[in-house]
């Protein structure tokens, strides 16, 4: 691809955000299932309410990838509306084998059941987010999320820091590799359809990345005796192009913000959940929105989620695409940013959508 620059094998793997070490949540629960330390307790207005909205959950769009691949106009139109109205959608008929999805879930569950000292062999260093731990902790006052995570850079392969790739249980590294390759294929196919609805040729969106980067985050949410006092993950939008998530089939936890209401994204067996990231919002000049979402805790069951982030190379420059601006006003909502700068800025634990707001062009009052 002409526009897709190649970066050399000896290019140094980037580091991401420094963070402050905090307790392991799974271990806290193991020691005393009833304790919820003050550092995890949310302000009243930020706590999840028990009145979730199951009727809205069924409205989250479902996109059939096999139809998109055939160029089905109706399905492309559904994708366009899903990205405008929800910023989230389920993907079915995505081609990833059911057995592989299950293999990934089983191996990850086994990893999180290992003793803490075993998992800590892969602990995150204080200057980066790869490894096992609790990322994005930037101050002692910060209210903490009720979760632990394993975070890895998967692609390009020369960015991998294999000392953080668990080799216990046996075969986990290979399963992560196999799963990540399958999800990358789904992402590439989705990019082709996103290119089309954004008024470009099929391969253009991929070319804009300079190189398609891929990160993987497995989140472990232990049960919590006071689930209405904590959040598994704070409200945020993703600084990716898109994120592809696999959920547990039987435990709900993901919620998205839709017209100021928190809507649960109930799992559909074997479907993947895709959300629009900040970068699509910026390239589309705000037509497609990256939506705030969060995870809530459960009082009697642990939950695991598997998020794959697809994002541009650090050197890619992101700004609204000319043809996506209003032809009359030509008003550019976002300024030009270098992706690496934007990404690191978003890791400073800004609330909700603050990082996209900061990338907006300042308008004169």
Is-contact 265 256, C-beta < 8 A? yes
End-to-end CA distance of the chain: 43
Residues in the chain: 365
Question: What's the predicted TM-score (pTM) here?
Answer: 0.93
- The sign of the torsion formed by the CA atoms of 330, 335, 338, 342 equals negative
Residue-level pLDDT at 365? 33
Give the tokens for residue 33.
């299932």
CB contact set of 312 (below 8 Å; sequence gap of 6+): 208, 209, 210, 211, 212, 213, 241, 279, 318, 339
Give kind and range of the element (H or E) at residue 207. helix 204-207
Residue-level pLDDT at 364? 33
Query: What is the DSSP code string of 280-334?
Result: HHHHTTTSS-PPPEEE---SS--EEEEEEEEE--TT-EE---GGGS-TTT----B
CB contact set of 170 (below 8 Å; sequence gap of 6+): none
Closest CA to 119 of 150, 146, 151: 150
CA dist., res. 102 & res. 92, Å (int): 16
Give the tokens for residue 162.
């294999």
CA dist., res. 18 & res. 210, Å (int): 26
Residue-level pLDDT at 324? 86
Residue-level pLDDT at 3? 41
Is-contact 164 128, C-beta < 8 A? no
Is-contact 191 129, C-beta < 8 A? no
Is-contact 154 176, C-beta < 8 A? yes
Residue-level pLDDT at 5? 47
Residue-level pLDDT at 179? 97
- The phi, psi pair for 161, rounded to 5°, reads -110, 90
Residue-level pLDDT at 128? 81
Residue-level pLDDT at 23? 87
Query: What is the DSSP code string of 59-74?
Result: TS-EEEHHHHHTT-HH
Residue-level pLDDT at 18? 65
CA dist., res. 59 & res. 269, Å (int): 16
Residue-level pLDDT at 98? 96
Q: Which residues of the chain have pLDDT under 70?
A: 1-18, 50-54, 349-351, 362-365
Residue-level pLDDT at 21? 79
Closest CA to 154 of 145, 167, 138, 165: 165
């Amino acid at each position: 691809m002409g526009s897709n620059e190649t970066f050399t094998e000896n290019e140094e793997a980037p580091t991401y955000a420094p963070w402050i070490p905090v307790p392991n949540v799974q271990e806290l629960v193991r020691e005393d299932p009833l304790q919820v330390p003050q550092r995890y307790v949310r302000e009243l207005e930020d706590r999840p309410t028990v009145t979730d909205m199951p009727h809205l959950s069924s409205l989250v769009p479902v996109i059939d990838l096999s139809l998109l691949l055939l160029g089905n106009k109706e399905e492309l139109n559904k994708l366009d509306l899903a990205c405008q109205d929800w910023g989230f959608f389920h993907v079915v008929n995505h081609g990833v084998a059911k057995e592989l999805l299950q293999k990934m879930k089983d191996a990850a569950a086994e990893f999180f059941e290992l003793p803490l000292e075993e998992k800590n062999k892969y602990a995150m260093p204080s200057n980066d987010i790869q490894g096992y731990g609790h990322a994005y902790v930037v101050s002692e006052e910060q209210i903490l999320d009720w979760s632990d995570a394993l975070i890895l850079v998967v692609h390009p392969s020369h960015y991998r820091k294999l000392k953080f790739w668990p080799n216990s249980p046996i075969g986990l590294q290979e399963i992560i590799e196999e799963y990540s390759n399958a999800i990358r294929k789904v992402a590439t196919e989705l990019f082709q359809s996103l290119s089309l609805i954004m008024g470009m040729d099929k391969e253009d969106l991929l070319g804009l990345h300079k190189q398609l980067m891929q990160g993987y985050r497995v989140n472990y949410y232990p049960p919590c005796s006071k689930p209405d006092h904590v959040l598994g993950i704070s409200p945020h939008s993703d600084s990716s192009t898109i994120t592809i998530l696999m959920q547990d089939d039987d435990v709900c936890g993901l919620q998205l913000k839709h017209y100021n209401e928190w809507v649960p994204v109930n799992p559909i067996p074997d479907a993947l959940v895709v959300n629009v990231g900040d970068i699509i919002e910026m390239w589309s000049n705000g037509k497609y929105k990256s939506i705030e979402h969060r995870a809530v805790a459960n009082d009697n069951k642990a939950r695991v989620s598997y998020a794959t982030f697809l994002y541009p190379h650090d050197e890619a420059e992101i700004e609204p695409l000319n043809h996506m601006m209003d032809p009359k006003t030509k008003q550019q909502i976002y300024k030009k940013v270098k992706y690496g700068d934007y990404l690191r800025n978003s890791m400073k634990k800004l609330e909700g959508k603050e990082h996209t707001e900061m990338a907006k062009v300042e308008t004169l009052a």
